[in-house]
Structure 1
């Protein structure tokens, strides 16, 4: 299996509901390094897995919708705890749609799985990995 990873970053604000979150129930900021890993069993005729530039553009489009936002006010996240794990899953779904729609170029249509990893710090991160939905 071949893989190719692109990365970017976002800064968000959010809060969590539930006693188990302690002080994180208050609005707080988070900065994430976001990594998107695309996987395919074979390369295209030019020996590419995906067009790196197209992958970076699609990732940035997805992140632009939440970058520098208070996630508590984003309508599509209403009623959700926007945990790191939740955000990984959300970004994965949007990247899967980009693959299926051909926005990563013809070679991108061979992508079978995506892993999205968000790093909160050098010591803590979460990921979601699944086949292209």
Structure 2
């Protein structure tokens, strides 16, 4: 399996409901380093996994919709704990939609899998992996 990873970051504010979150129940900020890893069994006709420039552009576009936002105020997230794991899935699903729409080029239609990893810090991160 071949893979290619592009990286960006996103800054958000949010709060959580539930005792398990302790002090994070209060409004707080988070800066995530975000890795998008694209995988395929065989390289495309150009001997690449995916166009690195287009992959970077789409990751930036998806993150741009979340960047500098208080996620508590985003209607589609109303009543949802926007955990690191949850956000990884949201980002993965949005990038998968961009792939399906052809925004990563025709060669991207041969991708098998996408993994989004959000690094909360140098000691903690979460990922979501999905088939394409």
> What's the TM-score, normalizing by structure 1?
0.97
CA-CA distance at 1:118 after TM superposition? 0.2
Off by >6 Å, runs of 4+ in structure 1: none
2:112 maps to: 112
- Give unpaired runs (5+ residues) of structure 1: none
| 1:3 counterpart = 2:21 | no
The Cα offsets for residues 34-72 of structure 1, whole Å up to 9 and x where unpaired, read as 000000111111101111010011111100011011100
Moved more, 65-74 or 98-107: 98-107
2:27 maps to: 27
| 1:62 counterpart = 2:71 | no
> What's the TM-score, normalizing by structure 2?
0.97
CA-CA distance at 1:79 after TM superposition? 1.0
Report the count of equivalent residues: 132
1:93 maps to: 93
SS of match in other structure, 1:109: helix
* RMSD (Å), alpha carbons: 0.7
